[in-house]
Chain A
C-alpha cells in the first residue's frame, strides 16, 4: 500500500509568485490534514478535510493560502502571492477516521526568496 505522497519535494519561488503543493493521501483515507514547520520550529496545524469538506481551517495563517480537495481524493494547497515568511516545510497527513493515527508524507520544502 502506497503511503502519503507529496509533490513537489522542494520548490523555490520568488516573493509574489504563486505555488501549488499537492498531497495524495493513502487510498481510502477520508481525513486529510495539512501542517507546516516554519524556520525549524514546531510543526503547526493548518487545516483538516473530511472527504472534500473543510472540517477545520483554524490554522490557516491568512487568505493567501487556499486549500482544496475536489472529489475527496488528493488535495492542493496554493499560496498566492507567496511571502518570505511562508518558507518552511509543508506536511500532509491522512487517517482513516478522525482521531485515528495520522500517516504523514515526506513534506514539501518551500523556499521563498
Chain B
C-alpha cells in the first residue's frame, strides 16, 4: 500500500520565521495528498489537500505542492505565528483506488516562540 515519510520533529521557531516540514510519499498512481493539524486539546483538522500532480493546496497561509517528480508534498509557511504551534501530519489514502483508509506520517510537533 501507499506510505508516507515525514520529517521528524520537534521543530522550534521564532515568530515570523519561515517553516518547512518535509513529507515524501510512496504510492501507486496519483492519490490525493493531505496535511492535517492537531492544535492542543483539539482533534485532527484537515489543513489543506491536493488532488492531483502539480496542484497546490493552501490554507491559513500554509502551502504544499504535489510534486510527482520528487514524490513530495512539503508544507511551507512564510511567517509563522505563535498560534501555529501544533502537531502536523502528512497523509494519503492507503490505496490509490480508495480514500477509505488514510495512512499518516509520524507527525511533526511545531512550537513557535514569541
Contact = CB atoms under 8 A, between A and B. Distances in A.
Same complex: yes
Interface of A: 3-4, 6, 31, 33, 35, 37, 40-45, 48, 55-56, 59, 91, 93, 98-102, 104-107
A106 B100 contact: no
Interface in B65-92: 89, 91
A104 B94 CA distance: 17
Interface residues of B, number: 21
B46 interface: yes
Interface stretch (B12-20, B37-45, B53-61): B37-45
B10 to A, nearest CB: 10
Q: Which 6 A-B pairs have the closest CB atoms?
A: A104-B44, A43-B104, A106-B43, A99-B99, A104-B43, A45-B101
Contact of B105 (A3, A42, A48, A55): A42
A105 B100 contact: no
Contacts of A6: 43
Contacts of A102: 102
Contact of B101 (A48, A100, A101): A48
